[in-house]
Chain A
Amino acid sequence: MALTETPMQAERARTIYEKSKPGRRAAALPASEVPEKPLADLIPSNLLRSEPPRLPEIAEPEIVRHYNRLSRRNFDLDSGFYPLGSCTMKHNPRLNERVAALPGYARLHPAQDPRRAQGALELMWLLQESLSEICGLPHVSLQPSAGSHGELAGLLLTRAYHADRGEERTKVLAPDTSHGTNPASVTMAGYEVVKVATDEQGGVEMDDLRAKLAENEGEVACLMLTNPNTLGVFDENIAEIAKLIHEAGGTLYYDGANLNAVMGHSRPGDMGFDIVHVNLHKSFSQPHGGGGPGAGPIAVSDRIEPYLPRPQVVRHEGSNGHGPGFDLDFERPKSIGRLRGFQGNFGVFVRSYAYILSLGGDGLSEASETAVLNANYLKARLKAGRAGERLPIAFDRHCMHEFVLSGKPMKRDLGLATLDLAKRLLDFGFHPPTVYFPLLVEEALMVEPTETETKESLDAFAEAIEKILAEAEDNPDLAKNAPYTTPVRRLDEVKATRQPVVRQQLEG
C-alpha cells in the first residue's frame, strides 16, 4: 500500500482557537437602549469576572468553513452503510427535522402554562398511547433522557414498588452478556449485580437462573434482559423466565435496545415484562447526533404505574361543550419524583411521533420484518463466502434483526484480529459493526443492518468482507496496518488515557 498522504490527511487538524485573531468577530448584538450604569454598581466587584473567557475571535465565513471542514472528517449514516450492532442505525427522515423545527414546538417554553401548550401535551399523550400499544403495557412516562436513564428509572421504580410493600431487596440479576449500562445503572440505583450465566444460544441459562434465585431468595429485586438477546436470537424461555422472577417477587425489566426486531410482531408486555425502556433514537428514527440527543421513555404495567416519575401527561375528557384537554399531573404521591428538568426531550418526541404517523401500525410491523429479513440475508451471504469459515456465526440459526460473528478462526488462521478487520472496512467506505461485544463471543462482530438498507448495500458489504479476507490470505499486514485512506490513521488511544490532554491550552 503506497503511503502517499491523501489531501484530507495532509490537512492537519487545527482547532478554532488556532484560527482566532484579536479583533475579528461574527455577532452583532443589539444596543441596550436603556440607561446604563457601571457594572460594579449593579453587581459587587468581588463577584465579577476580571477577564472574559478566551473564546475564539473569528468571523462568520470562517466559522462556517471551519465546521464544514470538520464535518467532512466524519463518516455518517447518510454517506454509507453503518451496521453498528445494537445501535439501529436506520434512516433519519428529514420530514421529522422539519416538523420538530416548527416554532410552535422549537420555541415553546417548557414552563408555559399547560392551557397554552395543549398541542405539545396532546402530542406527548399520543406518543405515550402509541408506545403503550407497541410495548403491550398500559402506562408510559416519556421523561427519561436516554436508554441508560430509562434503566435507572426502571430500577428506582422497582425500589419504590418493593418499598411500598414493605420489602427491601438488594440484588438485581443481569446476564453476564448484558449491555454495560445495565450493571452500571444497577450500581447507581444502589443495588448489587448478580450475574446470570448465558447459554450457547445467548439466552438465559435456566439452571443458573433458578440457582441464583434460590441462593438469593427474597433478595432479588429485578432481572434485566433484552429480547431478542444479545446474539440476536429470541429467547424462547421468556415466559418461563417471567414466571420464575415473578414468583420470586421481582420485576422483569426490558432493555429496549433490540425492540426494532419485534415491533408489531411480539410485545414485551405480553412476554411478561413489567418495565420497558424504548430508545427513540434507535427504533423510532431520532438521529443519533454523533452521540446524542436521544430519549428513553418507559412503559410499565399497572402495578408499577403509581411510582412513575412526575409530572405525567394526562388527558381529561371534555365537558361543557369543550373537547378533551391535556395537563401535567404533579399530584402523584407515590411517584419516585423527577429524573430531570421539565418534561423530557420533547424535540425527540416530535420526531418519533412523526415517524410513527408516517409508518402507521402496518409500517412499523413491516419495518421490523424487513430488518429481520435484511439481517438474515446478510448472514446467509456472509456464510456462503470466506466468512463462513473465517468469521463463523456465533449461534447459527435464524436471527432476528442482528447477528454476531466470531473472528476467532480469522485471528488463528490469518493473524487478523477483529479490530484489524474493522479498520480495513473503513478503507472500503463502511462503518464497521460493533466489535468485541458481546463478551461471550471471542473476537465478536455484531452486525445490525436495519430495514432501511438496500439489498445492494448488503451485497456490497458482504463483498468487502470477502475481499478483505481474501487479501489477508496473501498479505495480512494490509489489514493490520489499516486504515490508509481515512483523515487520520490508527490513533494512540492509550496515550490519551495515560496522559490526558482534554482541552486546548490558550495564551493571552
Chain B
Amino acid sequence: MTRYTSATPDDRREMLDAIGVGSAAELFEQIPEPLRLGRPLALPDGMGEAEVYERLAALAERNADAEAQVCFVGAGMYDHYVPAIVDAITSRSEFLTPYTPYQPEISQGGLQVMFEFQTAMSELTGLPVSNAGLYEGPSSVASAGYLAMGATKRRRFVVSRGVHPHSRETLATYSVGYGAEVVEVGLEGGLTDAAALAEAVDGETAAVILQSPNFLGAVEDVEALGAAAKEHGALLIVACDPITLSVLKPPGECGADIALGEGQPLGNRLDFGGPSFGFFCATEAQIRRMPGRIAGETEDVDGRRGFVLALQTREQHIRREKATNNICTAQALNALGAMVHLAWLGRNGFRELGELLVQRTAYARERLAAVDGVELLHTSPVAREFAVRLDAPVEKVLDRVAERGIAAGYPLGREYPELEDGLLVAITERRTKAQIDELAEALGAAVAAEREGVAA
C-alpha cells in the first residue's frame, strides 16, 4: 500500500473474491506474456514526504531565481508581483482538482470564472470574442495561423521579425504540418519595415502577423502596418503583452482580426517557462473558427442564470477530424490566476501599473544609455522593455553582472545573430529606481572591465 492508495490486505481479499480471481496478477494475464515487463522498474525506491521535499529543495537551491538575483530578464515572461490572493484562490481544491467542466451543473464556479476571464481579455484587446485560454503564447500564434488558413483558404503568412522568436519558430514547426509558407519581414530602427511588409503581402497571404510591443520592446504602429493586410483580404494577427494593453491602443481598435499573447504577466509565476496560458481574442466573424474552450451564458430549466461550454461543435470531442483545433486544455487554473490578478489591480490599478512601467522603463533606458560602453539599439517608443548595445561581449558582461546578484537582461544574440551585441532589458513594478541605478553602474563597470581585459 503506497501513501496514496487505501486497499488493505483484507480489502484486497474481499475485492478479489468479488471479482472471482485469486490474485491481482491474474487480471494482468490479458497482457501477452512476452509483453509483460517481468521485472521491477529500474527506478529508485519510493521516499517519504520529508525526503522528497529535501531532495527537491536541494535541486531548487541550485537555481538562480528572481529572489536570489535582481531580474531584468523579460523576453516574453516577466517577474511581476503576484498578489497573495492569487495563490490563496488558485490553491483552493475546488479550483485545483476538478476536470474540464463537462457537467456544467456542478461546474458553475469554473465556468463563471471562464466567462469573467473572457470578458476581461475582450476588454483588454478591444475584440468582442475571447476563448477561455490556450497552452501559452507561441503556440497561440500557430493556432491563429491555422484559423487564418481556414478563414481565407490561403496558405501564406507574412510575419514580422519583431514577433517573438519562439512564436516564429513554433509557427514554422506547425506550418510544415498544415502546409503553409512563412515569409519573414525584417526590422528597421527597431520597428517592422513597413515598405517591405507592404511588398510581401499579396492575394495569397492568409495573415499578417505582428507583435506590439515587439521583441525588441518597440511599440509598433499596428494600424498603419495592418493596412496591407486589409488591402489584400488577409487577416491581421497581433501578438501582445497583456500588461501593456493598460496603456497601449488595443489591437481591436487597430484593425486586428485576432489578438493573442502569452498570459504569464497576469497572475502567473515564472515557473521556468510554464505552465502559463495563452489568450486568444477575435472578431465576431471568427467565433465559429476559434480554437479552445469558450464559456457562454445560458439558463437552467427553472430560468436561473448559468454558464456552459458554448460552441462545442467546433471542438475535437464532437467534430473529430473537422475540428477547428485539436486543443482540449484551457489552462483554466492559470486563467483564474490572471482573472484574480486583474480584479486585484482593478480598472485604475491596471492603468497605474502600465503607466508606472512606462515611466520606470523610460528612466532605465535613459540611465543605461548614459553609461559608457552602452548605447540604445533603437530609439523607437517602448513600454516596458528596451534594447541596448554593449561595447563588449554580452555573455561575458552578463556573467560579471551576475556576480553582483543581477540578471541584467536577455542576450539578443541567442536568437538574432545580427544583434550579437544586443541586450534586452525588462522592467516590472518590482524593479525599483535603486535597482535600476545599480544595474546601470554594474553594466558600466562590467563593460569597462571587459574592454580593459581585467580577469573576471
**A336 CA to B269 CA, complexed, in Å:** 28
Q: Counting chain B CB atoms within 10 Å of each CB, which of A30, A156, A346 scores highest? A: A30
Query: What residue of chain A has the Cβ atom nearest to residue B334's Cβ?
Result: A293
B129 CB to nearest chain A CB (Å): 6
- The interface residues of chain A lying within 8 Å CB-to-CB of B360 are 32-34
- The interface residues of chain B lying within 8 Å CB-to-CB of A233 are 30
The answer to whether A491 and B300 touch across the interface, beta carbons within 8 angstroms, is yes
Number of A-B contacts (CB under 8 A): 731
Within 8 A of A (CB), among B345-394: 345-353, 355-356, 358-360, 362-363, 381-383
**A348 CA to B61 CA, complexed, in Å:** 18
Q: Counting chain A CB atoms within 10 Å of each CB, which of B108, B302, B322 scores highest? A: B108
Please tell me which one of the listed residues A32, A354, A486 contacts residue B359 in the complex, with CB atoms under 8 A apart: A32
Please tell me which one of the listed residues B29, B316, B432 contacts residue A33 in the complex, with CB atoms under 8 A apart: B432
Query: What residue of chain A has the Cβ atom nearest to residue B178's Cβ?
Result: A190
- Asked whether A42 and B317 contact (CB < 8 A) given A102-B57, A111-B410, the answer is no
A330-355 near B? 1/0 per residue, CB < 8 Å: 00000011111111111110100110
- The interface residues of chain B lying within 8 Å CB-to-CB of A92 are 96-97
Chain A interface residue count, Cβ-Cβ cutoff 8 angstroms:
208
- The answer to whether A365 has its CB under 8 Å from any CB of chain B is yes
- Asked whether A34 and B135 contact (CB < 8 A) given A180-B316, A265-B36, A452-B6, the answer is no
Please tell me which one of the listed residues A25, A73, A105, A290 contacts residue B333 in the complex, with CB atoms under 8 A apart: A290
**A92 CA to B98 CA, complexed, in Å:** 10
- The interface residues of chain B lying within 8 Å CB-to-CB of A496 are 296-298, 308-311
A141-178 near B? 1/0 per residue, CB < 8 Å: 00001111101100110011000000000000000000
B13-21, B194-202, B227-235, B443-451 - the one binding chain A: B13-21
- The interface residues of chain B lying within 8 Å CB-to-CB of A365 are 40-41
- The answer to whether A318 has its CB under 8 Å from any CB of chain B is no
- Asked whether A32 and B356 contact (CB < 8 A) given A145-B329, A290-B332, A345-B275, the answer is yes
**A362 CA to B45 CA, complexed, in Å:** 7
- The answer to whether B208 has its CB under 8 Å from any CB of chain A is no
Please tell me which one of the listed residues A29, A49, A67, A70 contacts residue B349 in the complex, with CB atoms under 8 A apart: A29
- The interface residues of chain B lying within 8 Å CB-to-CB of A461 are none
Query: What residue of chain B has the Cβ atom nearest to residue A335's Cβ?
Result: B173
Within 8 A of A (CB), among B53-102: 53, 55-69, 71, 73, 75-77, 79, 83, 85, 87-89, 91-102
A492-508 near B? 1/0 per residue, CB < 8 Å: 11011100111110100
- The answer to whether A78 has its CB under 8 Å from any CB of chain B is yes
Please tell me which one of the listed residues A107, A155, A267, A289 contacts residue B67 in the complex, with CB atoms under 8 A apart: A107
A10-54 near B? 1/0 per residue, CB < 8 Å: 001101110010001111011011111101001110111110111
- The answer to whether B169 has its CB under 8 Å from any CB of chain A is yes
- Asked whether A146 and B135 contact (CB < 8 A) given A109-B77, A112-B64, A455-B15, the answer is yes
Query: What residue of chain B has the Cβ atom nearest to residue A69's Cβ?
Result: B109
**A344 CA to B166 CA, complexed, in Å:** 12
- The answer to whether B43 has its CB under 8 Å from any CB of chain A is yes
The answer to whether A343 and B273 touch across the interface, beta carbons within 8 angstroms, is yes
B171 CB to nearest chain A CB (Å): 9
- The answer to whether B413 has its CB under 8 Å from any CB of chain A is no
**A56 CA to B117 CA, complexed, in Å:** 11
Query: What residue of chain A has the Cβ atom nearest to residue B350's Cβ?
Result: A55
The answer to whether B18 and A381 touch across the interface, beta carbons within 8 angstroms, is yes
- The answer to whether B323 has its CB under 8 Å from any CB of chain A is yes
B33 CB to nearest chain A CB (Å): 10
A324 CB to nearest chain B CB (Å): 12
B242 CB to nearest chain A CB (Å): 10
- The answer to whether A106 has its CB under 8 Å from any CB of chain B is yes
- The answer to whether B274 has its CB under 8 Å from any CB of chain A is yes
The answer to whether A291 and B106 touch across the interface, beta carbons within 8 angstroms, is no
**A374 CA to B1 CA, complexed, in Å:** 13
A432-455 near B? 1/0 per residue, CB < 8 Å: 101001000000000000011111
- Asked whether A491 and B56 contact (CB < 8 A) given A71-B92, A109-B270, the answer is no
**A438 CA to B328 CA, complexed, in Å:** 17
- Asked whether A360 and B47 contact (CB < 8 A) given A55-B347, A265-B28, A452-B6, the answer is yes
The answer to whether A348 and B274 touch across the interface, beta carbons within 8 angstroms, is yes
- Asked whether A27 and B345 contact (CB < 8 A) given A13-B112, A118-B62, A133-B42, the answer is yes
**A385 CA to B271 CA, complexed, in Å:** 49
- The answer to whether A214 has its CB under 8 Å from any CB of chain B is no
- The answer to whether A90 has its CB under 8 Å from any CB of chain B is yes
**A45 CA to B314 CA, complexed, in Å:** 40
Q: Counting chain A CB atoms within 10 Å of each CB, which of B3, B94, B138, B169 scores highest? A: B94
Chain B interface residue count, Cβ-Cβ cutoff 8 angstroms:
210
A4 CB to nearest chain B CB (Å): 12
The answer to whether A500 and B294 touch across the interface, beta carbons within 8 angstroms, is yes
Within 8 A of A (CB), among B279-295: 287, 293-295
The answer to whether B321 and A54 touch across the interface, beta carbons within 8 angstroms, is no
The answer to whether A185 and B346 touch across the interface, beta carbons within 8 angstroms, is no
B1-32 near A? 1/0 per residue, CB < 8 Å: 11111110001101110111100101111111
- The interface residues of chain A lying within 8 Å CB-to-CB of B16 are 373
Q: Counting chain A CB atoms within 10 Å of each CB, which of B26, B102, B122, B326 scores highest? A: B326
The answer to whether A64 and B136 touch across the interface, beta carbons within 8 angstroms, is no
- The answer to whether B44 has its CB under 8 Å from any CB of chain A is yes
- The interface residues of chain A lying within 8 Å CB-to-CB of B456 are none
- The interface residues of chain B lying within 8 Å CB-to-CB of A90 are 4
**A188 CA to B307 CA, complexed, in Å:** 29
- The interface residues of chain A lying within 8 Å CB-to-CB of B45 are 360-362
A372 CB to nearest chain B CB (Å): 5
B413 CB to nearest chain A CB (Å): 13
- The interface residues of chain A lying within 8 Å CB-to-CB of B226 are none
The answer to whether A103 and B169 touch across the interface, beta carbons within 8 angstroms, is no
- The interface residues of chain A lying within 8 Å CB-to-CB of B304 are 9, 12-13, 488-489
- The answer to whether A212 has its CB under 8 Å from any CB of chain B is no
**A506 CA to B118 CA, complexed, in Å:** 13
- The interface residues of chain A lying within 8 Å CB-to-CB of B178 are 188-190
- The answer to whether B265 has its CB under 8 Å from any CB of chain A is no
A464 CB to nearest chain B CB (Å): 15
Q: Counting chain B CB atoms within 10 Å of each CB, which of A9, A76, A118 scores highest? A: A76
The answer to whether A340 and B136 touch across the interface, beta carbons within 8 angstroms, is yes
Within 8 A of A (CB), among B110-168: 110, 112-113, 115-116, 118-120, 122-124, 128-130, 132-133, 135-139, 146, 164, 166-167
- The interface residues of chain A lying within 8 Å CB-to-CB of B3 are 93, 358
- Asked whether A293 and B331 contact (CB < 8 A) given A112-B63, A500-B294, the answer is yes
The answer to whether B30 and A290 touch across the interface, beta carbons within 8 angstroms, is no
The answer to whether B108 and A73 touch across the interface, beta carbons within 8 angstroms, is yes
The answer to whether A292 and B332 touch across the interface, beta carbons within 8 angstroms, is yes
**A24 CA to B93 CA, complexed, in Å:** 29
Within 8 A of B (CB), among A65-97: 66-68, 70-79, 82, 84, 87, 89-93, 95, 97
- Asked whether A344 and B348 contact (CB < 8 A) given A84-B99, A239-B35, the answer is no
The answer to whether A398 and B30 touch across the interface, beta carbons within 8 angstroms, is yes
The answer to whether B30 and A52 touch across the interface, beta carbons within 8 angstroms, is no
A119-127, A248-256, A386-394, A406-414 - the one binding chain B: A119-127
Query: What residue of chain B has the Cβ atom nearest to residue A201's Cβ?
Result: B30
B239 CB to nearest chain A CB (Å): 11
- The answer to whether A299 has its CB under 8 Å from any CB of chain B is no
The answer to whether A134 and B332 touch across the interface, beta carbons within 8 angstroms, is no
The answer to whether A27 and B128 touch across the interface, beta carbons within 8 angstroms, is no
In the complex, besides A116-B63, A148-B329, 4 extra interface pairs with C-beta distance below 8 angstroms are A75-B103, A287-B97, A341-B273, A362-B46
Listed by A's residue number, 11 A-B pairs whose Cβ atoms lie within 8 Å are A25-B348, A32-B355, A34-B433, A265-B28, A288-B100, A290-B333, A337-B170, A357-B46, A373-B19, A376-B21, A426-B105
Q: List the 5 closest A-B pairs by CB distance, nearest first.
A: A104-B60, A342-B273, A110-B273, A119-B62, A360-B46
